[in-house]
Structure 1
Amino acid sequence: MTHPKEEQTLAIIKPDGIQRSLVGEIINRYERVGLKLVGLKMFVPSEEMVEKHYLLDPSWKRKVGEKAIESYKKRGLTPPSENPEEVGQRVLEGLKKYITAGPVVAMVWQGAHAVEVVRKLTGGTEPRSSDVGTIRGDYMLDSYQMADGDSRAVRNLIHASGTHEEAEKEIPHWFSKDELMQYKIIQEKILYDVNLDGILE
């Protein structure tokens, strides 16, 4: 069983995060809490790569479609279809267009409860309703309402794995084993050493 301090998660700074010059700020947020960056690369993903990413979960399209239909109805709007698969496909097409619009920065972060911590720091999917203090809450003002009105994906700066299972599937989709570094950083002594030995001279 993997020790919690070795847990890894995927985070991707999307094209709007690059264009807003927020790469350094986003990395800083994750580093400050004590996570270790073990994988990093910048490139323009293909539509095929983005589609495969979201369909790593075979039920993704249906679940996203159901959530979108519910969101439309809560806001008193008529969904484009009552078929979750059709609505999910519309969402997927919007995401492909959004994420392939320019370079992205893909990252793998490692540390205690990495999946949960990165999600918490990143904030909710919709920037408008994300808490102040989260990356999305502090640096983006987009909303489902605006995205739906413009027939596009909501611009929320970052993708972050939602569960351990997602992270385990997503990391090898974006990174080969050779692209992930194994190394130590000094702060791990403070974060993880049981007795904090060796501080005093």
Structure 2
Amino acid sequence: MLGLRSAHIHGTSMGGMVAQQFAAKYPERTERLVINCSAAKLDYAGILTFRGWIDIAERFGMGSRTLAELIALQALSRRFLDTSEGRRAVDMIQNILQDSNRVDIFKLACQAMIDMDLRPLLPKITAPTLIIGGDEDMMTPWDQAASGAGQDYLAQHISGAKKHVIRGSSHSTLFDGTDENCRVVMAFLKSEF
């Protein structure tokens, strides 16, 4: 991506944190930025979430059903989880964790989320920015405790940022708010939002 003359960047959670860093460091290469269900800094509740994931992964491995279920519970809306599609999503999360992750790498990724504080970078983001996420997001809620900087903080501290809240959706708006998420993101990328 660094070789691009310009980019539309769309990131969720950790990807959203990477996208914030890229847009702040390379404003001339960033045409538009979509931050989907992310934060600039986790509050203590968010830190506890990732510490818990680390503990489960260390004790039970990446194929742990408990880890998959906990991530699903924290990432997907109750409404979505109550469907057959939601139950299949738990299986998919478990398969991805088991087949595509190692405990040491997973721990490093979780620790990076725990340690990250991107608040000083936000004034450097100059690209048109969309902050989008679900109103039931437990992982990176719109309004975090005082020690964190959630989605509302991003919308307030990135100049000209637009925000869109998907009602009834959780952290994974691409699963439990798919149509609305895609419609709003496409409208934003076309400068129609």
TM surpasses 0.5: no
Q: Structure with the greater relative contact order (CA < 8 A, sep ≥ 6): 1 or 2?
A: 1
- Please report the TM-score for the alignment, with normalisation by the length of structure 2: 0.32
Larger Rg: 1
The answer to which structure has the higher helix fraction is 2
